[in-house]
Structure 1
Amino acid sequence: MISADQLQQDRQLIIDWARRIIPIRAISPKSGGRGEKERADEICRILSEMGISNFTRYDVEDDTGTVRPNIVVRVGDRPRTLWVVAHIDTVPEGDLGLWTYPPFAATVEGDRIYGRGTNDNGHAVFLSLLLLQHARVGEMRYSLGIAFVSDEELGSTYGIQHLLKQGVFRKGDIIIVPDAGSESGLQIEVAEKSILWLKFTVKGKQWHASMPDNAVNALREASKLITELDRVLHEKFSASNTLFQPPVSTFEPTKHEKNVDNINTIPGTEVFYFDCRVLPVYDLDFVLDTVHDVVKEFEARSKARVTYEVIQKEQAPPPTPENSEVVKLLREAIRKRLGGEPAVIGIGGGTCAAFFRKEGMDAAVWGTEVPTTAHRPDEYVVIGHILQDRDVIEEILYGR
């Protein structure tokens, strides 16, 4: 049983780590950032201060020449390893006007720490550091492995996929990814939807806004295309699976690039993106065939021309079986520590777990968190949730 004094000390440790890590903008170059190197360097300093020197860096350059770091720590000498995977990259803050708290600062209010990346995935980073801080090597049932990885928000090419290629993980290891969950802590994610990101470019004819008859308004035509894609995709791929939350495929227009600088010019080019989260029952190639048909039918009615390209395409792997060892261990530990009966679920978000599943390695996504806070203004993490998750993971790591 952890004493009240120890809990208070651990709470302060989490706050101190957050104040060092969250202000470092670990954003992908493709989202306007400089990558995760500075944040990784800070995590390495924290590890060194904790007396941990046997960590390994797996740095790799991306296609922009930016260093994308990954840090792997192993503690113990057991034949099998319990892995906790935490991603250190984060998304941009978005509209600053929507924030009450400064996004790249760790603002503490009661049991909450506010800031971009505090939840996604600072929760797992702080949890991992706490597990390392209190590692009791002689009492472990498994060695403890921590992977701090890059590039999760944009596909994990330079993060967990890179580590898998390096042979860091072994079949038979226990793999937990604290990157989704519920406030009760009673949900274990075993399946994810397929992910398809598309970029559309609509070419019209730029002209003076007072003479629209001479123009082909790319904004208007793009708006029509967005509406048509939205309707057809939702109608055609309408299956439902209650394992997932939400239970249906989603097709969302998201990012929109700048067109013209002035009000009195009709734009000749419009660029927008779709984020599609598709139930595994559908083949993404079939979705792309449908997109192609919609574009061709649209061009037959419009004077605008359309091109599109695939930014990300990840067909969902088979789910982690409900009777797998990692799910059984989590269920037992959750029952003992939280006193409830956990349910298995699927989600629309993509996590590092999908890449383990593709390699035939069972992985579970679990954590106690507020699921509505990631990627939103005033993102926050609850300190008590991190402490509770530490108890559950330690039950697996040390329990008898």
Structure 2
Amino acid sequence: MTDAADLTARLIRCPSVTPEEGGALVMLADLLSAAGFEVRRVDRGDTPNLFARWGARGARTFGFNGHTDVVPPGDLGSWTHPPFSGHVEGGVIWGRGATDMKSGVAAFVAAAIDFVTATPPAGAVILTITGDEEGPSRDGTRALLDWMAAQGERMDVCIVGEPSNPSEMGEMIKIGRRGSATFRIAARGVQGHAAYPNRARNPLHALTRLLDGLISAPLDQGTEHFEPSGLQITSIDCGNPASNIIPETASAVVNIRFNDLHDGESLSRDLERRARAISDETGVTLTIEVDLSGEAFLTEPGPFVDLVRRIVEQETGRRPELSTSGGTSDARFIKDHCPVVEFGLVGRYMHQVDERVPEDQVNQLKAIYQRILEEYFA
């Protein structure tokens, strides 16, 4: 039997702060190779990635996805136990990545190894593990999927092992995610004396009019599986140190988390239309740069979602909510490859000082993953 809790502690001892590999993928590659998996490093640029497959190509294939990179630990003196010690005490594993998400990786790696060893399936199991989820996410799971397409590798379904439960195991399965787009708005007017506004064009007036229009009414009322879209102004700046000068330039940043009523293109068109109207009226030039982190997506409830939900309920005693809440994850890339859901541990301590996870939770997650594999291939 592969001990998922022990593997979690060993992975935590690998200091894999993005983009450093820290030895985590090397450890997993050795473990999976010894269990009969075909293992390949699929690094792109400076980003480390790992692909592992057990079983023949072209067979029915179940996939898992996760990441071994972690966010920086912050002030080391604030930690009860050193963040990369993998300290185990009282049935709790301490360290950076204990929740997000070395435990999730350990659970699906252990489940996959024990499953193919005990009951070799008439199919294949694929594991895709990246070292670039907490960073830019350009050369991580994206690179793995690009490489898989070039090699003719394919998953039929996939579970991302991100922490999905708010406070108790079995509360929530993520079957989709909102999209995320950041708009950087620059306004250029004409500088002048505050006492003579007729000789200037104030970029702040134009910019705040645009922003006021964006927040004056909700984008929508939500859909069957999604909450209402949310828009937040996260920055306004003009760099003006004087109270009697109308500045020449100003800028703002707006982040929109949007549901499946919108996409990045439609939101961009709407914002450009509003900006043009205000520019034409005020003479202030408004330009917009868009950073689309991911589109909204939904894995429709059906046999795959039902299987995961049923086993989670049987193993935890809770019927999980099918949710699309939260931020983004690498599921936003996998959804273009195959149906994908997210189910993992309780996310209470992720990214916090003294990040930690109970050993029994990790072992329970492994048992859930192994049951899912057994019934999927039954």
Q: Which residue of 2 aligns with 1:137?
A: 117
**Structure 1 residue 388 and structure 2 residue 364: aligned?**
yes
What is the TM-score when the length of structure 2 is the normalising length?
Answer: 0.76
Measured against aligned partners, the alpha-carbon deviations of 1:32-69 in whole angstroms (never above 9, x if no partner) come to xxx24x34x432135326736841011222xxxxx222
* 1:235-384 aligned within 5 A: 235-241=217-223, 243-244=225-226, 247-254=227-234, 272-296=252-276, 299=279, 305-312=285-292, 314-317=294-297, 319-324=298-303, 326-359=304-337, 361-370=338-347, 372-375=348-351, 379-384=355-360
Measured against aligned partners, the alpha-carbon deviations of 1:118-156 in whole angstroms (never above 9, x if no partner) come to 433333223234335645424133433211124435674
Asked whether the 8 Å contact 1:25–1:104 carries over to 2, the reply is no
* 1:103-118 aligned within 5 A: 105=84, 108=87, 110=90, 112-113=92-93, 116-118=96-98
**Structure 1 residue 119 and structure 2 residue 106: aligned?**
no
Asked whether the 8 Å contact 1:180–1:189 carries over to 2, the reply is no
CA distance in 2, matches of 1:159, 1:256: 32
Q: Which residue of 1 aligns with 2:16?
A: 24
Q: Select the residue among 182, 185, 188 that pairs with 1:200.
A: 185
Pair 1:123–1:276, CA change in 2 (3 A): farther
**Structure 1 residue 69 and structure 2 residue 53: aligned?**
no
**Structure 1 residue 398 and structure 2 residue 374: aligned?**
yes
Asked whether the 8 Å contact 2:76–2:82 carries over to 1, the reply is no
Structure 2 residue runs without a partner (length 5+): none
Question: Percent identity among equivalent residues?
Answer: 20
Supply the AA of the counterpart residue of 1:58: V
Report deviation, 1:113: 4.7
Asked whether the 8 Å contact 2:161–2:344 carries over to 1, the reply is yes
Pair 1:192–1:49, CA change in 2 (3 A): closer
Asked whether the 8 Å contact 1:24–1:104 carries over to 2, the reply is no
CA distance in 1, matches of 2:281, 2:328: 36
Supply the AA of the counterpart residue of 2:344: G
Secondary structure at the aligned position of 2:255 is classed as strand
**Structure label with greater radius of gyration:** 2
Asked whether the 8 Å contact 1:218–1:270 carries over to 2, the reply is no
Q: Select the residue among 212, 220, 232 that pairs with 1:228.
A: 212
Report deviation, 1:395: 0.9
CA distance in 2, matches of 1:327, 1:134: 23
What is the TM-score when the length of structure 1 is the normalising length?
Answer: 0.72
Q: Which residue of 2 aligns with 1:29?
A: none
Q: How many residues align?
A: 364
